[in-house]
Amino acid sequence: MSNTKTLPLLEADGQGAAPCCPPLTERPMTADEAETAARMFKALGDPVRLRLFSAVASHEGGEACVCDISDVGVSQPTVSHHLKKLREAGLLTSERRGTWVYYRVEPSVLAAMGKLLAPPTAA
């Protein structure tokens, strides 16, 4: 049994996606917020994972079959491992269709990441 936690990146607020944490320029993060954001950044801190995440995010139609994104210079089992880590971090979702698995980056995940890193707005 795995002891990994899925990243609670999004919260429903009735007005779209809210990041797991406030924008970095809004206020200092709490310890829990920093831990949550660090899991996301740690998952993206590996070059292969970042390439896979980018391949899924930029793929036509917003989703990609593992067969379309596995050419990242590592073996297929390693690709599966990295995709699993991205799913566990809450950055990707997956769906099995027949023998293939399709991955998707939910638009709300990208929006939440953008809000976390957004520069301060002028008042």
Tens digits of residue pLDDT in 20-39: 677 888 889 899 888 878 88
Instruction: Residue 32: name the closest of 21, 23, 48, 43 by CA.
Output: 21
pTM beyond 0.85: no
Q: Are 6 and 39 in contact (CB under 8 A)?
A: no
Longest dimension (CA), the chain: 52
- What pLDDT is attached to residue 61? 85
59, 95 Cβ separation under 8 angstroms = no
- Whether 23 and 115 have beta carbons less than 8 Å apart is answered as yes
Which amino acid is residue 17, in one-letter code? A
